Structure 1
Amino acid sequence: MSAYKLLALDMDGTVLNAAHEITDTTCQWIGQAVASGITVMFATGREVQSIEGYIRKLGLNSPLVTLNGSEVWSAPGKIMMRHVLQDEWVAELYALASGRHCRYWAYTVNDVFTTRNWPGHVRRPADDPWLKFGLHSDDPAVLAQIRDILAETGRYELTNSSPRNIEVNPLGINKANGLREVCRLLDIRMEEVAACGDSLNDLEMLRAAGLGIAMGNAQEAVKQAADAVTGTNEEDGVAQAIRTYLLN
């Protein structure tokens, strides 16, 4: 029997290859993990609407952590908790990104807004609040400047899903905290969790898990913080991790 009862998987750059697919090999090993009694779940920066097809493909009915922890689901379609960005914060983030010619995007409960369809005002109805904001720049100096400005406010959790972006959640909201809520729900300990990821929005999750596994394509800081490094997302690294560390 595996020492781990829960496997949390990041999606882009981790369980998904460059074509945004889960290969048959990875599907098979996830299936074997589930058959052995391990709960397999996604912990992703994506919004829940964009992962429904992957959940169906794998036949999962497990909890979810989405939008870097801004939403935690006890099962698909069953929201457990939600953490929001205040309207005035999003106005601040929008001004900062647009003023420096960054591409930007943001999620609400029901919508995704980008540089191309940004709404005329940021005030949201009570049932459709802001959940996460992201911005992209190819200039590392611009990203560093924005990160410093945002860090000084003390309001935001700052991570990335690529070296060229910054992802913004409310302070203290991250995948690790989302996983802790799932552990409480399932009555398991964080020491019994294995997690795989590749970017800074996975960093706290890998540190908090009993076994933090970095992908071979992970950012260097993620590899340094992880307990183990597996193959890349183009080499079925998740399948390798399941075979090597969970079902050995």
Structure 2
Amino acid sequence: MGNYKLIALDMDGTLLTEDKLVSAENKAAIKAANAAGVTVMFATGRGIQNVTAYVEELQLAAPIVAVNGSEVWAAPGVLHSRKLLDTSLLKQMHAIALEYDTWYWAYAVDQIFNKEKWTDQVDAKQWLKFGYYYEDAAMMKEIRMKLEAWDALEITNSHPLNIELNPKGVNKASGIRQVCGLLGIEMSQVIAMGDSLNDESMIREAGLGVAMGNAQDEIKQLADVITATNDEHGVAKIIEQYVLS
């Protein structure tokens, strides 16, 4: 049994069910972990505006890693750090989306844009993350190769059919390292749970890296432990085994 002090949870495909709910089992396990003195936090690709309702539901006062690490919040409402995407890169990514006619989205500070709702004020915004979604594997490979050639971006996904892009070196692990600094703990004292490539960095670096039963195969291969699926309360099972027992 490790001396775990922090549990970092991805949200979609991990803590949340397919219906985007927190199960009663997961909720009870998180409450018990907090009562045992273990901090439970979100480490998510979502922007903070899509995290707050769940923070309130679970009554969490912990730090938050949002937008794949582009923002680290010391506590709800207390921003610790923010890493912005270069606007010129964002324009190039947007041009690629138009060229290939993919679905796309982007997180700016305080606002989300997508293919149906873009902005002509790109230079006036502060950008955090850009993403593509498409169902054509050949197109996915072409776009990814173009992006990799720039050597300027952190390239991950939150689903097998998307690509998520952050500033190079910015990922969930970089965010959690900052949180460890705030809490005075080591990465070896962290349990990190996730299902997709944007969870790879934290699963690799945490003391206990956990892949969900529904995780992408690449994540399962590198994890220390594989738990049940997000619909089978896999988060609760890990908390019960490694923190509460």
TM-score bucket (shorter structure): over 0.9
Partners of 2:48 and 2:85 lie apart in 1 by 17
User: Contact 1:7–1:195 at 8 Å: present in 2 too?
Assistant: yes
Letter of the 2:153 counterpart: Y
| Structure-2-length-normalised TM-score | 0.98
Query: 4+ residue stretches of structure 1 with deviation over 2 A?
Result: none
Report SS of the residue matched to 1:240: helix
Residue 56 of structure 1 corresponds to which residue in structure 2? Answer: 56
Structure 1: tracts of 5 or more residues without a match: none
| Structure-1-length-normalised TM-score | 0.97
Partners of 2:121 and 2:37 lie apart in 1 by 48
Residue 29 of structure 1 corresponds to which residue in structure 2? Answer: 29
1:110 and 2:107 matched? no
User: Contact 1:26–1:236 at 8 Å: present in 2 too?
Assistant: yes
Residue 208 of structure 2 corresponds to which residue in structure 1? Answer: 211
- RMSD of the alignment, in Å? 1.0
Deviation at 1:46, TM superposition (A): 0.2
Query: Higher helix fraction: Structure 1 or Structure 2?
Result: 2
1:193 and 2:190 matched? yes
Deviation at 1:121, TM superposition (A): 4.2
Identity of aligned residues (%): 48
Partners of 1:122 and 1:142 lie apart in 2 by 25
1:239 to 224, 232, 236: 236
User: Contact 2:2–2:189 at 8 Å: present in 1 too?
Assistant: no
1:4 and 2:4 matched? yes
- Any idea what the Cα deviations from partners look like across 1:157-183, whole Å, max 9, x if unmatched? 000000000000000000000000000
Deviation at 1:230, TM superposition (A): 0.3
Question: How many residues are treated as equivalent by the alignment?
Answer: 245
Deviation at 1:52, TM superposition (A): 0.9
1:152 to 141, 144, 149: 149
Report SS of the residue matched to 1:234: helix
Structure 2: tracts of 5 or more residues without a match: none
User: Contact 1:2–1:247 at 8 Å: present in 2 too?
Assistant: no
2:129 to 116, 126, 132: 132
